[in-house]
Amino acid sequence: MGDDIKKFSRRDIVKTLATVPVLGAMGYGVLKKLDFEKKKVYNIADDLGLNLYDEPGLLSSSNGKTIRLGIIGTGGRGKYLLEAAGFAHPDTVKHWYEQNQQNKADTRYGDYMGQDDLNIEIRGVCDIFDVHAQQAMLSASNAEKSRSVDKVGAQVKRYRNYRELLAATDIDAVIIATPDHWHAQMGIDAAKAGKHIYIEKGLTRTVEEAFALRETVKQTGVVFQLGHQGRQTASFNKAKQLLDKNILGKISLIEVCTNRNDPNGAWVYPIHPEANENTIDWQQFIEPTNAHPFSAERFFRWRCWWDYGTGLGGDLLTHEYDAINQVLQLGIPYSAVASGGIYYFKDGREVPDVFQAVFEYPERDLTLMYSASLANELYRGKVIMGHDATMKMENKLEIFPDNRSTQYRKQLDAGLISSGQPMITYEPGRNTLDGTTSATEQYFASRGLLYTHVQGKRVNTAHLHLKEWLECIRRQKQPSCDINQAFEEAITAHMATIAYRENRKVHWDADKEQLI
């Protein structure tokens, strides 16, 4: 049978290997292509010597002594701050857990469980609404991040008046998350009692209160943080680095905005069914402001009345202003004008739902413009306009060169950059998940300041803001949004509010520290 044995002939070899040269062509093409890509990618950030991805390190907080906290005001914001501090209500943890089981895209449970331990105890809870107080006591007892807690911990005590809480010897520091009309008095009393203070924005309801609070905080030297958690947003900190390098050229105009379009966004918060004169200490609520008969509406939707807050000025303008003050150190403006009205929510409120304020900074040769509507949700971001470039500042930073730029003339003429495309984009967290396709972009388009990324990990900014405050208490330092920054925020916002309410241009005399 030997005759049948076939030989692998030369012809066979040729046919076997006929397509191998294709791989050679592919190899050549790929090398050429990679070479081309390397040459083509012009990175102006490299040209300008910017290191975009020097990620901030994580603050360590577990060392040092345990700080014992009290919280005054445990409504919507107080509850949120407790969660950011690692003390969520067991039902909330359970809700997040169940939502995550149903929908993996809902990562709140994982984010919360992964939050750092701040090494704190919640010893005191003060709220004048019984339901909120009881819920907060259970939250304060849930250091274990459990999904069910049987009873309130022995160390957690409820106080019906904040003065009793401030007198407690087992409390080192307080979080104040009450309506604005109580901020100043509580802050002053807390500072006098030697308690360190984390207080929600806007700092105060009136100008006088801002002066008084600043004076006491400075005298007592307590560690003070105002609740602008945007201070922790990685992109804002990066924006400051870039602006310090004069990347935009001469800045002449800054535009910041608020757009919301739902009742909740216009402070028409739900009224708790158990809210009544027996469950709410109304007399204590109105103590520092004008008297008014009991009103659950005013209690829950207090931002709608001048007696308790300053509307858009104190609530949302302050966030926008503080973000800009953080990156440009604008300080208090020389003048402010404002306009607006109650154009949509004709529900008996006193504060405007459409509100514009224009601040002049002649020493900096620039204008800061704030524009807000609570009846439209068009997205308008923070825009900083310079002669050489424009920066859009959100969780993602984008810098667009200006066609008429002097600084970037050469690169513009060479076609390396153009005004239609960002020349620098900074998007922390981008490497954790792909951000290169348009569809993904939608998921990353962040609208609020709820979270940022630290070393690729998604973190609640309020958590970081509390953490910075606690670290400063341990190290005897003042945090990023200290009383000076807070004072600037308060006066600036009040200038806009006064300009609106008195329908006039308001000036700030920086030497005399006086409003004119």
Contact residues for another protein, defined by CB under 8 A: 4-6, 8, 12, 15-20, 22-23, 26, 29-30, 34, 104-105, 107, 430-440, 443
Q: Pick the closer one to another protein by CB: 5 or 291.
A: 5
Q: Token pair of 315, please? A: 């609530």
Closest approach of another protein to the CB of residue 1, in Å: 8
Closest approach of another protein to the CB of residue 25, in Å: 9
Q: Pick the closer one to another protein by CB: 73 or 422.
A: 422
Report d(CA 65, CA 120) in Å as an integer.
9
DSSP assignment of 225-291, as one string?
A: EES-GGGG-HHHHHHHHHHHTTTT-SEEEEEEEEE--SGGGGT-PPPPTT-STTTB-HHHHHTTS--
Q: Pick the closer one to another protein by CB: 18 or 154.
A: 18
Question: Which has the closest alpha carbon to 212: 189, 232, 237, 184?
Answer: 184
CB 228 within 8 A of CB 361: no
Residue 46's contacts (CB-CB under 8 Å, 6 or more residues apart) are none
Give φ, ψ of 275 to 5 degrees. -75, 120
Strand partners, 514: 509
Q: Pick the closer one to another protein by CB: 107 or 252.
A: 107
Report d(CA 167, CA 247) in Å as an integer.
51
Closest approach of another protein to the CB of residue 56, in Å: 21
Q: Pick the closer one to another protein by CB: 26 or 58.
A: 26
Q: Pick the closer one to another protein by CB: 12 or 244.
A: 12
Report d(CA 44, CA 465) in Å as an integer.
32
Closest approach of another protein to the CB of residue 41, in Å: 12
Closest approach of another protein to the CB of residue 425, in Å: 12
Q: What is the DSSP letter of 314?
A: I
Q: Pick the closer one to another protein by CB: 169 or 436.
A: 436
Q: Pick the closer one to another protein by CB: 32 or 410.
A: 32
Distances (CA, A) of 412 to 41, 315, 427: 15, 41, 24
Q: Pick the closer one to another protein by CB: 6 or 151.
A: 6
Closest approach of another protein to the CB of residue 150, in Å: 33
Residue 201's contacts (CB-CB under 8 Å, 6 or more residues apart) are 226, 227, 228, 314, 315, 318, 319, 322, 486, 489
Closest approach of another protein to the CB of residue 269, in Å: 32
Report d(CA 232, CA 328) in Å as an integer.
15
Closest approach of another protein to the CB of residue 383, in Å: 25
Q: What is the DSSP letter of 200?
A: P
Closest approach of another protein to the CB of residue 32, in Å: 12
Closest approach of another protein to the CB of residue 459, in Å: 16
Residue 285's contacts (CB-CB under 8 Å, 6 or more residues apart) are 128, 179, 299
How long is the chain?
516
Q: Pick the closer one to another protein by CB: 42 or 443.
A: 443
